[in-house]
Amino acid sequence: MVVNQLGLRHAISQAVALNAPAGTIVLYIAGTASLITSTFVTHQEGAYAIPLILLLSLIIYALMSYSMYAFSRRLSSAGGYYTFVSRGLGTSAGFVTALSYITYEILSFTGFGILGFLGFGYAILPTLGISIPDPDFIWMPIAIIFIGLVSLLIYLGIKPSLRFVTYTMFIEVSFLIATSLALIMMHPARVSATPFTPSPMGNDPFAIFAMMIYAIGAFVGIGGSIPIAEETQKPKRNVPLAIVATIAILGVTIILASYAQVITWGIQNISTFGVGNNAYPLLNIYGADFGIASKVIFWVLIVIVLNSFFTATVSLGTNATRVLFSMSREGALPSFLSEINRNNGTPTMSMITLAIISTAIVIGVGAGFEFIAKMSPLNALLSSSIFLLILESPITYIVHILTNTSLYSYMKKHARMGPMNTIKYLIIPSASTATLLAAIVASIYFNLFYVDAVFASFALIAIIIVSTVVMRFKFKEKLEYLGDFSL
């Protein structure tokens, strides 16, 4: 990898792109609405509270981000989270974090990036009058081509890929904010604070917590600049700044867009939001609510959403390859994964490994839903995407819980601790951890239809823990230098 080749704007673009604002707005807002309507039948107006659910999710993620922010001011490593945890809680906890982060990245790479792209394509093409040839199978070669294009851009080097991402992210965010403000101004009589209150959800805090286990995923890109710290100029300044800037950009863009959507749809019709023929309500709105400009704005949105999934997949792949490289460099994974292309600094073998694993997951899970569960290709792709996104959530929480927990231990060893420091390094991270645990408990308590994915996630976490125990007792020497490297 090449040090000092990226600036602050690249770090921000990497994090924002990883979150895919347009893809998130299309997928997560509609997905949250569908989950609310199908799960809480007594709260048929519940989708009107999506802005509140997203705002609370952002607050929780901002609390989680404090640990990232504090660590990134002191440590700069491609290992990212696992370097933080290894320094605070030891290499065993660091190895759990490393495996959890890689698992989360791969599930997000496949579930959000690839399957999100495919599901959106399958949903939108027929509405545009474009027939899909051999729809039962054509998504498989398209998935392989998509992964190949993403891998090619990653292979060309992080600076060329982030140059492309930076320009497209600016266009994407500007378009979403401008059109959301336009929708709000076009419906002044519907503007109210109701979407930011729990009343549409029947003032039920447990139901809101249950929805947050899905909605928190709308902000997972906030820490996206951490694994590229070694390649960023002045990383102990620019990476923390990128975290703060990403919170602001994503918060404004996603929450503003959700508010514009629900008030445009109207509370009287909200039970149809994200359901049936309105599975992607944003497309319905942009295709009809801008008058004579609707057709142009609609097509611009389509292009932006498709590119959003693409750039998110590139950013996710970039981060995953950096962490695989770092673990290999420090001896915890086979040495071939740390092989670097001398021309552009790309961890080539890590990239190839990621592509192979991701192809197997996408085709295996997608085919399972289509041919074993007997779903239509569209429903199979959408269900596969949601399943993998729910599957990743508790694993993501493990990464953040361990990072939160390790912050106090690390600071106790390396900084003077006063009353204010205890609040910053113990109380705030603990509040974030408690909320994450409450979201998981709520999802199980309500026996939500995606609860099987939560239980499957627990099984993966158990495998990660068992793997760590084996590593600790059979190959202890391989953990000796885990998390040791930092600029």
In the Cβ-directed half-sphere of 371, how many Cα atoms lie within 13 Å? Answer: 9
The predicted structure's pLDDT at residue 412? 85
Is 305 among the domain residues? Answer: yes
Domain of residue 223, CATH code: 1.20.1740.10
DSSP 194-213: GGGSSGGGTT-HHHHHHHHH
Q: Which of 16, 127, 119, 73 is nearest to 385 (CA)?
A: 119
In a domain, 485, yes or no: no
Q: How many structural domains does the chain have?
A: 1
The answer to whether the CB of 289 falls within 8 A of the CB of 261 is no
Instruction: Name the nearest CA neighbour of 393 among 433, 311, 453, 449.
Output: 453
Structure tokens at 171: 């266009």
* CA within 13 Å, CB half, 234: 8
Q: Is residue 347 part of a domain?
A: yes
Closest alpha carbon to 177 in 264, 257, 286, 282 = 257
Cβ-based neighbours of 206, under 8 Å, separated by 6 or more:
442, 445, 446
Expressed as residue numbers, the domain containing 90 is 8-479
Sorted by sequence, the CB contacts under 8 Å of residue 148 that are 6+ apart come out as: 355
Q: Return per-residue pLDDT of the chain as tens, 487 residues.
A: 567 788 999 999 999 999 899 998 987 888 788 878 777 767 788 889 999 999 999 998 888 889 999 999 999 998 999 999 999 999 999 999 999 999 999 999 999 899 989 998 998 888 788 888 899 999 999 999 999 999 999 988 888 888 888 999 999 999 999 999 999 999 999 999 999 999 999 898 888 877 877 788 788 888 899 999 999 999 999 999 999 999 999 999 999 999 999 999 999 988 888 877 777 888 889 999 999 999 999 999 999 999 999 999 999 999 999 999 999 999 999 999 999 988 888 899 999 999 999 999 999 999 999 999 999 998 899 889 888 988 888 898 899 999 999 998 998 888 766 666 788 888 888 888 888 787 777 777 766 656 788 889 999 999 999 999 999 999 999 998 999 988 7
The pLDDT score that the predictor gives to residue 420 is 65
In a domain, 486, yes or no: no
Q: How far from 286 is each of 26, 126, 462, CA to CA, in Å?
A: 11, 17, 44
In a domain, 484, yes or no: no
Question: Is residue 229 in some structural domain?
Answer: yes
For residue 487, being part of any structural domain is answered with no
Q: How far apart are CA 24 and CA 202, in angstroms?
A: 26
Beta bridge partners, 6, equal: 232
- Are 36 and 273 in contact by the 8 Å Cβ rule? The answer is no
Sign of the CA dihedral 404, 219, 387, 357?
negative
Query: Which DSSP symbol is given to 43?
Result: -
- Short-list 409, 416, 348, CA closest to 90: 409
CA 190 to chain centre: 31
- Distance, in Å, from the CA atom of 403 to the CA atom of 451, rounded to the nearest integer, reads 25
- Determine, yes or no, domain membership for 377: yes
Rounded to whole angstroms, how far apart are CA atoms 243 and 220? 11
